[in-house]
Amino acid sequence: MNLGYDRALYLLPFDHRRSFVADMFGFEMPLAAQQRDQVTDSKRLIYEGFRRALAEGISSESAGILVDEEFGADILRDAHTRGHVTALSVERSGTEEFDFEYGADFASHIAAFDPTFAKELVRYNPDGDHALNLRQVARLKQLSEHCALSQRRFMFELLVPATDEQLKRAGGDKDAFDRQTRPLLMQRTLRALQDAGIEPDVWKIEGLDRPADCARVVEIARRGGRDTVGCIVLGRGADEAKVRSWLATAAAVPGFIGFAVGRTSFWDAVSSYRAQTLSRTEAATQIARRFREWVDIFEAGRKSRPAVAA
């Protein structure tokens, strides 16, 4: 299987675990059986919204889900049976340092669900803790090599948190850091990880405000013969206006193949369903509508790309 994935890829991610349990439900781990059932049912609701979006015309070849094994095992099995694009999160939730959710047994858990993508989330700043970065790189290389040997697609979700010094230089303004500093750190990170032998088929990255920054990320992601490696933009739980801006900016840049927008898609609907201000059908419909909006924005941006000379 050749490296890369350059088809349209529109993901509804709901692999959130520890933050979801705490912020949506107010539960503490470990969960009682009834609490676990509530969390699992909320994931089924999100999946119902995804399925409704497909029924209303979203392409099943482009759309997919990203969900965790802990609360979404049955969803992953059902989606696989239906032939949907699936991504399985393999990272331990709620930790600053990347490690495998199931330790050395990670490979068997991936094989059990046979997802389209094995996905991990990593917080990595090239100017951050050197020893931490080295430990993460070692585990990431293990995952990358496993995916290559097992003919499995590999999706890399990259978050670049500011160091204290970087945030200080930005005047304590996180938005200024995002605009001025994070794009260059992302570029350095992609290069460093590639040079370390880590080879994703798809980079899942934080939204960028400038098309030039998007283009530079794609250039690095595809350097050295990695011509079909794709990039998708994540929502990072931002408000609707920011997500719309990030999607439109990325969509206009060749090499960005789609998005993964989760909390902005489902949070209000699930919360309203729990508060009994929306019925289950209404909540699923709201999730589907929001997901379709993201697809429409991205498709419109793709159409605005300059024509490629023959």
Report DSSP letters for 90-106, one per residue.
-BPTT-SS--BTTGGGH
Q: Which secondary-structure segment (H or E) carries 118?
A: strand 117-123
Higher pLDDT, 1 or 270: 270
pLDDT single digits (tens) 112-170 = 999 999 999 999 999 999 999 999 999 999 999 999 999 999 999 999 999 999 999 99
Sign (positive/negative) of CA torsion 304, 189, 96, 99? positive
110, 88 Cβ separation under 8 angstroms: yes
Helix (H, G, I), strand (E, B) or coil at 125: coil
Q: What percent of the chain has pLDDT over 90?
A: 97
Q: pLDDT at residue 310 above 70? A: no
pLDDT single digits (tens) 96-114 = 999 999 999 999 999 999 9
Q: Please state whether the predicted TM-score (pTM) of the whole model is above 0.95.
A: yes
Q: pLDDT at residue 309 above 80? A: no
Question: Which pLDDT belongs to residue 296?
Answer: 98
114, 85 Cβ separation under 8 angstroms: no
Residue 304 confidence class, pLDDT cut points 50, 70, 90: confident
Domain spans in the chain, listed from the N-terminal domain onward: 9-303
Cα separation, 241 vs 232, whole angstroms: 18
Residue 308 confidence class, pLDDT cut points 50, 70, 90: low
202, 230 Cβ separation under 8 angstroms: yes
Mean pLDDT value of segment 238-258: 97
Q: What percent of the chain has pLDDT over 70?
A: 99
Q: First vs last Cα of the chain: how many Å apart? A: 28
Cα separation, 249 vs 141, whole angstroms: 31
The CATH architecture one would assign to domain 9-303 is Alpha-Beta Barrel (3.20)
| Per-chain mean pLDDT for the chain | 97
Long-range CB pairs of 270-278 (<8 Å, 24+ gap) are 270/24, 270/42, 270/45, 270/46, 271/24, 273/42, 273/45, 274/24, 274/25, 274/42
Both tokens of residue 67? 């969900």
pLDDT single digits (tens) 170-208 = 999 999 999 999 999 999 999 999 999 999 999 999 999
Q: pLDDT at residue 36 above 80? A: yes
Helices (H) and strands (E) in the chain — how many of each?
Answer: 12, 8
